[in-house]
A = this chain, B = another copy of it.
Amino acid sequence: MNNFIYQNPTKLIFGKGEIARLPQLIPADKRIMITFGGGSVKRNEVYDQVVKALAGRDFIEFWGIEANPSVETLRKAIALGKEKKVDFLLAVGGGSVIDGTKLISAGLLYEGDAWELVLKGSYSKTVPLATVLTMAATGSEMNSGAVISRYETQEKYAFYSNYPVFSILDPETLYSLPKRQIACGLADTFVHVLEQYMTTPGQSRLMDRWAEGILHTVVEIAPRALGDERDYDTMSEYMLSATLALNDMIRMGVTQDWATHMIGHELTALHGLTHGATLAIVINGTLRTLHDQKHGKLLQYGERIWGITDGTEEERIDRTIARTEEFFRSLGLSTRLSEEGIGEATIAEIERRFTASGVHHGEAGNVDGAMARRILEACL
């Protein structure tokens, strides 16, 4: 096991009806900006619950943080927040709203342009931020990361600032989600775990078990989550799985990968494809291309998650990767670039970007432009 530091201060408030706790959770003297995406929270009554809970409190609203939140939009929120002297942020939405609000929370205390913060990669001086989660996928409600896009240059980068002081997770807020969003959320959760698990074997038995615990759960609940999104227990498992998949708890003392995410971010930046949908495609290419490096863990994963124990090791690995792709297809997601009309032009652009950045991604630091091309070609 590697040395590590773990600290996650976010207060998780989980369960039906918990949005009503908001007034106890935000100090009475705070000038709040509530941030939203589109209008879905008005249709599913989350908006009503939030404004009812905060009746009489000093708040303003900022609407329109889009999927893959853009610095272009967030600059407007920062300007408004500075003008109104906001000192508490409440993000009501999914990962995109929360990610965007993390940049706002840093931007409110920064003199320069918000894109400078993104290029810095991290910034710790922030206004307190809390969340009411309405879409389970990114884990942003209990981690310090965000992913911010810049539309004018088709760029998309990770940015690290603050953990939410609290996050309210009411599974009933997921009841009105479109099935495709649930599918993408399940895929995102699954691949978040793989990024922290499909690495060098034998680093931590315990972290392996916890990662596998989330994978098992996602596999078991997926059919029902897609079949009856008003099943409270199923949506509870889904919501908690998504949070625990990316809140630092399953990466204590172990290496991580994240190459699939880095390639996926490029697909979103270039084609606007939903994050989870990019992962459902790229992960297959990653596992196929790096199967030698991930040999031991692929065998363990195949045996423990999919019960694949017969045949030679190579046969077991082939079947394990095929079974993984089949799982994503069972969610109704594409698993091939060609299904999304993506081909050589995009591969060439991603290869160019990776090469130009000079950064080598992945656990072994070997996912450069050429390797990104191989991975993408393996999922054409």
Interface residues of A (CB under 8 A from B): 1-18, 171, 202, 204-206, 209-210, 212-214, 216-217, 220-221, 232-233, 236-237, 240-241, 244, 249, 252-253
Contact = CB atoms under 8 A, between A and B. Distances in A.
Contacts of A220: 205
Top 3 A-B residue pairs of the complex, sorted by shortest distance between their CB atoms: A3-B15, A209-B213, A7-B11
Given A1-B14, A1-B171, 6 more contacts: A1-B15, A1-B237, A6-B14, A7-B10, A206-B244, A212-B213
Each complex incorporates copies of this chain amounting to: 2
A236 B207 CA distance: 12
Contacts of A3: 14-18
Contacts of A11: 5-7
A233 B216 CA distance: 26
Contacts of A252: 12, 14, 240
A2 B13 CA distance: 11
A236 B1 contact: yes
B15 A7 contact: no
A8 B9 CA distance: 6
B4 A14 contact: yes
A307 to B, nearest CB: 14
27 contacts: A1-B14, A1-B15, A1-B171, A1-B232, A1-B240, A3-B15, A3-B17, A4-B15, A5-B11, A6-B11, A7-B10, A14-B252, A204-B237, A204-B240, A205-B221, A205-B237, A206-B214, A206-B217, A206-B237, A206-B244, A209-B212, A209-B213, A209-B214, A209-B216, A210-B210, A236-B253, A240-B253
Contacts of A213: 206, 209-210, 212-213
Given A1-B15, A15-B3, A17-B3, A206 B10 contact: no
A31 to B, nearest CB: 25
Contacts of A8: 8
Contacts of A241: 206
A2 B15 CA distance: 7
B14 A240 contact: no
A13 B5 contact: yes
A7 B244 CA distance: 13
A10 to B, nearest CB: 7
A8 B206 CA distance: 19
A216 B221 contact: no
A239 to B, nearest CB: 9
A185 to B, nearest CB: 15
Nearest to A9: B9
Nearest to A204: B237
Nearest to A165: B7
B17 A12 contact: no
Contacts of A236: 1, 204, 253
